[in-house]
């Protein structure tokens, strides 16, 4: 039995990794998602490596990159927007050069990791939600700003094994500028929206947890939200067959947001004493889950937060975010990344590499963590992969050392 | 080039050799017959009568996949980044770890340093198999393989509840082996992981599943029959219902009868050998279990010995781990429902010799080891990392081989636990031959690795050389030499060369027609395409470090 390579591709433009993108849709540029359209419209051909803004051969650029790394006393591998294979290469490069390693999404990833490392959590994955969830509570997020097709792929589906999809109860609790229209059921039933600004979520979510835990509460409102509303929400969650509490750590961008996430996950833990509920962390990508996971199995520890000021050279990988660059003032920067990168100032070295899922094959973790999908080259090019370029730099470094 | 191991004192139970002094010749990674005198010998190691065994095989060790990586993430207090330039006595990753959750590099290094040349991940969630293979692919030095979990996946439970015929089930089981690149089939808390998703908290062997209206016994019958009929060597790998529950020995005894006499392997049986006697309503039922294993020749078991100290338990059994989370130490845990396929539960534990239950668990494991007569049917495991890290195997071997050492350890246990164990009345001391059986010949035979676990002509040259000494822990902790596929990779217990092993699989023939219905199921209910669920040989071999060795079986 071999894997039949038909024309379906998994799209790495967000953490959902929709794997129903046909070659035909890519050829015709017909997508139901703006992120996918933008990703597959990228032009990655006709770009050569550069040294100090001047065109250079790949060999010259590799030599310049190795020289910059050799001179650095405290290099940093950052951005790290890539797939599992790229992550392996970057971990290897970091080990060989004594570099620290971080990711473009490290701050939002670490909000979740702090909760995991402090208390753990109880979570589920997309197929479980698709087939079981009868109540979906989104806290501080509309999900769709990050994962456009969440409702199409997971919620308003034609069929589910254990629940009636169209009858699902959708609730939004708090958040700023939410797009709640996707939460309207196929038969026109509006979702419940409990409004409060994101900045008030800490106290509102703490109150919800207290109510689910049957703690005595005397207040009648919290941050403008009626406690009776939250009490009713708590009862809805308790009565659910499979309540799913969804958050997106990127949307909880205030100080100590990890405490809000912990209140969400501990609400789930409290619910699971008697009924069934699970947490679901959405959002993600730039390969953040892949890079954090691979970093963990290769090093035994999770990805770290960037400390820009303490480094004297940066290897920057931006395969899924061509516009992204390190903070101004960081130098020298060695970009191993998107051929369609846009620079305000030319980096010391720029080596365009193949983007997994666009120019070359790869493997990527979905945002829910348990599922990994193969990425196939939608528009194959002869650009080198990140793995190949890192191997060349490592060989150059070893040659220098010898 | 031919390598000669001269004057080896061979212990090779597969060939009934117990200390036979002979020469071993190796060429192209294989053991060969004595070559003609005209052939040049490239390398000679005069072993002067040192003990030589095949490389050891760990048939049940959680070395790769989601659970293990979650465990690493969960416990930063036992990990720390270290720099490569830090002086290390051996080759290691940046974060050299001897703890319960080593990174993949250290996993391979620690195994080979102990003379182990293969380890099998026993609980690969089918939907998570790609990750498991990525981690195992990043594990150097040793061969790998895994058992795919079935029996809680909704596709299979639907088949059973719709009274699908056995052929359809067989084809689905075989399809799963192909799709997940595994060598065996595992069932964890049959039906229970699924039942937990329907808010059930216990699943007994003959209790109907609340949604599918089938029993765990029926699941065990169907799966053990499928495994038998598709003709793979590895019997169904069974993690029984009621893990860790006082009184669960009865479930375990009943489970032995659930395969209607077909071969079945019961895993980490220590955790399933508990009675309810005594003031604390928790007692050893090791004698009952061992007696049943002795008389039921179709049953094999690995022990899942616990050893004292900090570890972390990582299991597919989220139903029981959700209960265990109450006694987590440190107090944190991860419980997951996963993809209508299975689940997982990761709960850190600290086993203490002064804790009654822990002390008795320690004794129960050893009682099982010492009371099962046939070393071909009981396997040396700690269920790494659940009972203890695999790095504690040399210590465990000494407990089995050295009665005085064992009894001294027993005397330090919680006194109430001592009063509830007959361990000191068990005088047995394992011989080197028996240790070689349970760690080499028997696991290779059980899994179906025809060319591993023995030192016959044609075998892969995975070979470990030890100096016999009274302290068996010291002996097994630090082999003199280890050869992997004929290459000398460990000298005096230290890695001298990094190599990458292979992934062993079993791919029996089956009717591909079964895929039509599986695809239909994926299209109706899943959030991924069936084609992406399947893992190709090329994907295993990506990044150039791994390759697939398929074993033609049956």
Q: Would you list the DSSP string of B225-277? A: HHHHHHT-SSPEEEE-SSTT-TTTHHHHHHHHTTTTTS-EEE-SGGGG-EE--
| B532 inside 8 A of chain A by CB | yes
pLDDT classification of A306: cutoffs 50, 70, 90: confident
Residues of A in contact with B529 (CB under 8 A): 8, 19-20
| A125 inside 8 A of chain B by CB | yes
| B34 inside 8 A of chain A by CB | no
Q: What pLDDT is attached to residue B543? A: 74
Is the pLDDT at A204 greater than 70, yes or no? yes
Q: What pLDDT is attached to residue A401? A: 58
Q: CB-CB: which of A113, A121, A131 is closest to B340?
A: A131
Intervals of chain B under pLDDT 50: 84, 86-90
Residues of B in contact with A374 (CB under 8 A): 130, 532, 539
How many CB atoms neighbour CB B206 within 10 A? 12
Could you tell me the CA-to-CA distances from A52 to A64, A309, A316, A332, A384 in Å, in that order?
9, 22, 15, 10, 20
pLDDT tens, position by position, A231-282: 999 999 999 999 999 999 999 999 999 999 999 999 999 999 999 999 999 9
Q: What is the CA radius of gyration of chain B?
A: 23
| B503 inside 8 A of chain A by CB | no
Paired sense of beta strands B264-266 and B299-302, if any: parallel
Is the pLDDT at A13 greater than 90, yes or no? yes
Interacting residues of B86 by C-beta distance below 8 A, sequence separation 6+: none
Closest CA–CA distance from residue A225 to any residue of chain B (Å)? 31
Residue among B456, B502, B473, B457 nearest B409 (CA): B473
Q: What pLDDT is attached to residue B86? A: 47
Residue among A287, A250, A283, A249 nearest A12 (CA): A287
Interacting residues of B391 by C-beta distance below 8 A, sequence separation 6+: B98, B110, B114
Residues within 8 A of B (CB atoms), A 194-253 only: 241-242
Q: What pLDDT is attached to residue B89? A: 43
Residues within 8 A of B (CB atoms), A 306-365 only: 363, 365
Interacting residues of B11 by C-beta distance below 8 A, sequence separation 6+: B17, B18, B19, B51, B52, B53, B432, B433, B436
Token pair of B507 as six digits: 């791919």
Disruptive mutation site among A7, A74, A165, A300 for chain B (greatest number of B CBs within 10 Å): A300
Q: How far apart are CA B300 and CA B430, in angstroms?
A: 18
Q: Taking CA atoms, what residue in A is nearest to B531? A: A3
Could you tell me the CA-to-CA distances from B59 to A132, B183, B426, B522, B543 in Å, in that order?
35, 11, 26, 32, 26
Question: Which helix (H) or strand (E) covers residue A271, if one does?
Answer: helix A257-271
Q: CB-CB: which of B73, B130, B178 is closest to A363?
A: B130
Token pair of A205 as six digits: 């979510």
Alpha helices, DSSP H, located in B296-402: 318-324, 356-371, 393-401
Token pair of A350 as six digits: 């720029």
Residues within 8 A of A (CB atoms), B 307-346 only: 322, 325, 328, 331-341, 346
- DSSP state for residue B33 in the 8-state scheme: P
Quick one: average pLDDT of A147-167? 98
Residues within 8 A of A (CB atoms), B 192-221 only: 197-199, 211
Is the pLDDT at A195 greater than 90, yes or no? yes
Q: What pLDDT is attached to residue B289? A: 98
- DSSP state for residue A68 in the 8-state scheme: H
B303-333 residues labelled b (16+ CB within 10 A) or e (exposed): bbbbbbebbbbbbbbbbbbbbbbeebebebb
Say which residue the tokens 């419940």 belong to: A192
Q: What pLDDT is attached to residue A331? A: 86
Q: What pLDDT is attached to residue A192? A: 98
Q: What pLDDT is attached to residue B85? A: 52
Instruction: Work out the angle at residue B189's Cα, subtended by the Cα atoms of residues B186 and B195, and round it to the nearest 5 degrees.
Output: 125
Q: What pLDDT is attached to residue B101? A: 87
B121 DSSP β-pair partners = B146
Token pair of B162 as six digits: 């719709």
3-state SS string for B345-364: EEEEEEECCCCHHHHHHHHH
Q: Could you give phi then psi for residue B26, rounded to 5 degrees?
A: -125, 135
Q: Taking CA atoms, what residue in A is nearest to B521? A: A161
- A219, A227 contact by CB (below 8 A): yes
Q: What pLDDT is attached to residue B88? A: 47
How many CB atoms neighbour CB A165 within 10 A? 18
Residues of A in contact with B86 (CB under 8 A): none
Q: What is the CA radius of gyration of chain A?
A: 23
Q: Is B494 helix (H, G, I), strand (E, B) or coil?
A: strand
Q: Could you give phi then psi for residue B272, rounded to 5 degrees?
A: -125, 25
Instruction: Work out the angle at residue B435's Cα, subtended by the Cα atoms of residues B433 and B441, and round it to the nearest 5 degrees.
Output: 80
Q: Taking CA atoms, what residue in A is nearest to B124? A: A370
Could you tell me the CA-to-CA distances from A379 to A31, A39, A372, A374 in Å, in that order?
16, 11, 21, 15
A250-266 residues labelled b (16+ CB within 10 A) or e (exposed): bbbeeeebbbbbbbbbb
- A186, A164 contact by CB (below 8 A): no
Q: State the complex-level ipTM.
A: 0.96
- How much helix, strand and coil, in percent to the nearest 5, is found in chain B? 35, 20, 40
- B335, A279 contact by CB (below 8 A): no
| B527 inside 8 A of chain A by CB | yes
In a 13 Å sphere around the CA of B355, the CA atoms on its Cβ side amount to: 13
Could you tell me the CA-to-CA distances from B12 to A241, B17, B182, B373, B403 in Å, in that order?
56, 5, 27, 19, 24
- B276, B282 contact by CB (below 8 A): yes
Paired sense of beta strands B299-302 and B487-491, if any: unpaired
Say which residue the tokens 């303490």 belong to: A310
Q: What pLDDT is attached to residue A4? A: 40
Residues of A in contact with B121 (CB under 8 A): none
Q: How far apart are CA B121 and CA A348, in angstroms?
A: 45
- B307, B387 contact by CB (below 8 A): yes
Interacting residues of A330 by C-beta distance below 8 A, sequence separation 6+: A308, A311, A314
> Does residue B191 come out as left (phi exceeding 0), alpha (psi in the -120 to 50 range) or beta?
left
């Amino acid at each position: 039995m071999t894997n039949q390579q038909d024309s379906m591709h998994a799209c790495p433009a967000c953490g959902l990794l929709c794997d129903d993108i046909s070659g035909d849709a890519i050829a015709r540029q017909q997508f139901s998602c703006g992120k996918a359209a933008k990703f597959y419209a990228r032009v990655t051909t006709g770009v050569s490596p550069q040294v100090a803004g001047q065109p250079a051969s790949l060999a010259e650029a590799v030599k310049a990159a190795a020289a910059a790394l050799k001179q650095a006393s405290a290099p940093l591998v950052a951005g790290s927007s890539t797939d599992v294979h790229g992550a392996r290469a970057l971990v290897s490069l970091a080990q060989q050069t004594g570099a620290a390693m971080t990711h473009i999404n490290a701050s939002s990833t670490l909000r979740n990791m702090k909760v995991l490392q402090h208390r753990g959590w109880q979570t589920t994955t997309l197929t479980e939600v698709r087939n079981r969830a009868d109540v979906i509570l989104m806290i501080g997020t509309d999900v769709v700003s990050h994962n456009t097709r969440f409702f199409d792929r997971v919620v308003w589906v034609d069929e589910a094994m254990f629940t009636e999809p169209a009858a699902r109860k959708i609730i939004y609790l708090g958040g700023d500028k939410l797009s709640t229209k996707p939460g309207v059921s196929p038969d026109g039933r509006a979702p419940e929206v409990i409004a409060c600004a994101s900045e008030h979520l800490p106290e509102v979510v703490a109150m919800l947890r207290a109510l689910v835990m049957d703690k005595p509460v005397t207040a009648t409102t919290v941050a403008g939200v009626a406690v009776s509303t939250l009490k009713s929400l708590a009862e809805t969650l308790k009565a659910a067959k499979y309540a799913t509490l969804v958050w997106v750590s990127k949307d909880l961008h205030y100080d100590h947001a990890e405490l809000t996430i912990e209140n969400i996950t501990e609400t789930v833990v409290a619910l699971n004493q008697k009924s069934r509920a699970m947490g679901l962390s959405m959002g993600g990508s730039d390969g953040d889950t892949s890079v954090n996971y691979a970093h963990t199995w290769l090093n035994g520890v999770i990805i770290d937060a960037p400390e820009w000021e303490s480094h004297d050279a940066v290897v920057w990988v931006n395969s899924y975010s061509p516009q992204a660059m390190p903070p101004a003032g960081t130098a020298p920067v060695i970009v191993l990344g998107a051929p369609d990168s846009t620079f305000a100032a030319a980096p010391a070295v720029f080596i365009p590499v193949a983007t997994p899922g666009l120019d070359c094959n790869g493997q990527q973790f979905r945002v829910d963590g348990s599922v990994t999908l193969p990425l196939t080259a939608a528009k194959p090019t002869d650009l080198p992969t990140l793995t190949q370029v890192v191997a060349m730099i490592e060989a150059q470094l070893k040659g220098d050392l010898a | 080039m031919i390598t000669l191991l001269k004057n080896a004192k061979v212990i090779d139970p597969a060939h009934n050799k117990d200390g036979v002094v002979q020469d071993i010749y190796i060429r192209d990674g294989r053991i060969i017959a004595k070559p003609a005198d005209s052939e040049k010998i490239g390398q000679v190691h005069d072993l002067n009568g040192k003990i030589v065994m095949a490389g050891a095989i760990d048939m049940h060790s959680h070395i790769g996949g989601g659970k293990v990586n979650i465990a690493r993430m969960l416990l930063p207090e036992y990990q720390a980044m270290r720099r490569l330039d830090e002086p290390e006595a051996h080759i290691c990753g940046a974060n050299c770890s001897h703890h319960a959750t080593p990174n993949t590099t250290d996993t391979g290094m620690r195994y080979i340093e102990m003379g182990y040349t293969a380890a099998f991940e026993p609980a690969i969630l089918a939907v998570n198999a790609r990750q498991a293979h990525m981690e195992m692919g990043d594990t150097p030095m040793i061969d790998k393989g895994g058992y795919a979990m079935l029996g809680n996946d909704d596709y299979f439970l639907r088949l059973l509840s719709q009274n699908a015929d056995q052929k359809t089930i067989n084809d689905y089981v075989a399809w799963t082996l192909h799709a997940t690149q595994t060598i065996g089939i595992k069932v964890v808390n049959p039906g229970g992981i699924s039942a937990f998703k329907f808010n059930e908290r216990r699943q007994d062997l003959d209790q109907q599943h609340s949604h599918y209206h089938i029993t765990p016994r029926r699941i065990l019958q169907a799966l053990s029959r499928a495994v038998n009929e598709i003709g793979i060597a590895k019997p169904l790998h069974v993690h029984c219902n009621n893990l860790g529950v006082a009184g669960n020995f009865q479930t375990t005894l009943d489970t032995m009868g659930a395969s209607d006499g077909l071969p079945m392997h019961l895993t980490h049986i220590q955790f399933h050998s508990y009675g309810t006697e005594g003031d604390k309503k928790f007692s050893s039922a090791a004698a009952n279990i061992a007696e049943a294993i002795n008389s039921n020749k179709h049953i094999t078991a690995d022990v899942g010995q616990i050893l004292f100290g900090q570890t972390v338990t990582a299991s597919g059994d989220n139903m029981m781990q959700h209960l265990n989370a109450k006694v987590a130490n440190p107090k944190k845990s991860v419980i997951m429902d996963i993809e209508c396929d299975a689940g997982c539960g990761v709960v850190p534990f600290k086993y203490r010799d002064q804790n009654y239950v822990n002390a008795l668990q320690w004794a129960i494991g050893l009682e099982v080891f010492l009371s099962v007569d046939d070393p071909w049917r009981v396997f040396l495991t700690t269920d790494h990392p659940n009972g203890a890290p695999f790095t504690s195997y040399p210590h465990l071997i000494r407990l089995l081989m050295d009665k005085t050492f064992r009894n001294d350890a027993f005397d330090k246990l919680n006194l109430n636990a001592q009063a509830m164990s007959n361990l000191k009345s068990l005088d047995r001391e394992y011989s080197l031959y028996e240790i070689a059986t349970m760690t080499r010949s028997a696991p290779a035979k059980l899994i179906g690795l025809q060319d591993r676990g023995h030192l016959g002509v044609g075998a892969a040259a995975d070979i470990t050389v030890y100096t016999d000494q009274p302290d068996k822990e010291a002996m097994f902790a630090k082999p003199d030499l280890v050869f992997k596929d004929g290459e000398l990779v460990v000298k005096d217990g230290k890695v001298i060369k990094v190599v990458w092993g292979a992934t062993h699989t079993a791919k029996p023939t089956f009717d591909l027609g079964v895929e039509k219905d599986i695809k239909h199921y994926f299209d109706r209910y899943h959030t991924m395409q069936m084609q992406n669920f399947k893992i190709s040989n090329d994907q295993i071999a990506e990044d150039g470090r791994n390759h697939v060795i398929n074993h033609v079986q049956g």
